[in-house]
């Protein structure tokens, strides 16, 4: 599969929506490796929800993430440093007998991108871009947009033509 081939080549980064290691502390990250724990909610846009439904694609949460309603998902998150948010769980997109599981999202706030892990394949770099990112003391909000060159990968896996490069996929909000 094309996504698997790209993932094998791109396996260099860690896109952890399910980061390894225990959460050591609440509050501000320090230089001793502590992690701030919190949650990230991802809310699909109304347009994306409508397009997914029309194309027969369902979206569910991968544990320990939770599906709150048809468009909102909540994931445990850690913030090991000021520029990174790691998540546990993920999303599974299903169309007919085909599914695509994306887990261990890693938000790189400095680079403005999101890497994901495809179980059985590995890390796929920069699947989503972060835009309109706002970082406050205890919150981070951003838009998730399909990164340039990644729409074809998503479309190929789900046998669709729905995804477009730059497509506004979801809003995210992280609280720590």
pLDDT digits (tens, 9 = 90+) for 4-56: 433 333 332 333 333 333 333 334 444 445 589 999 999 999 999 999 999 99
Phi, psi at residue 136, to the nearest 5°? -115, 180
Domain of residue 86 covers: 2-21+28-162+169-175
Number of domains forming the structure of the chain: 1
Supply the pLDDT for residue 34: 59
What is the spatial distance between Cα 85 and Cα 14, in angstroms, rounded to a whole number? 11
Supply the pLDDT for residue 160: 97
Compute the average pLDDT of residues 71-96: 97
pLDDT digits (tens, 9 = 90+) for 100-144: 999 999 999 999 999 999 998 899 999 999 999 999 989 999 999
Compute the average pLDDT of residues 90-97: 96
Q: What is the pTM of this model?
A: 0.81
What is the spatial distance between Cα 42 and Cα 91, in angstroms, rounded to a whole number? 10
What is the spatial distance between Cα 148 and Cα 153, in angstroms, rounded to a whole number? 11
159, 114, 157: which is closest to 133 by C-alpha?
Answer: 114
Place of tokens 């796929």: 124
């Amino acid at each position: 599969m094309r996504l698997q081939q790209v993932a094998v080549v791109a396996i260099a980064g860690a896109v952890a929506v399910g980061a390894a290691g225990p959460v050591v502390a609440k509050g501000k990250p320090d230089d001793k490796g502590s992690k701030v724990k919190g949650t990230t909610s991802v809310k699909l846009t109304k347009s994306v929800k409508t397009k997914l439904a029309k194309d027969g694609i369902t979206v569910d949460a991968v544990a320990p993430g939770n599906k709150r309603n048809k468009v909102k998902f909540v994931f445990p998150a850690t913030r090991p440093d000021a520029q990174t948010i790691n998540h546990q769980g993920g999303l599974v997109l299903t169309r007919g007998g085909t599914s695509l599981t994306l887990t261990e999202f890693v938000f790189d706030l400095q680079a403005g991108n999101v890497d994901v892990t495809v179980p059985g394949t590995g890390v796929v770099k920069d699947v989503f871009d972060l835009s309109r990112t706002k970082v406050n003391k205890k919150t981070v909000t951003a838009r998730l947009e399909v990164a340039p060159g990644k729409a074809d990968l998503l479309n190929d896996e789900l046998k669709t033509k729905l995804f477009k490069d730059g497509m506004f996929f979801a809003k995210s909000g992280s609280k720590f």
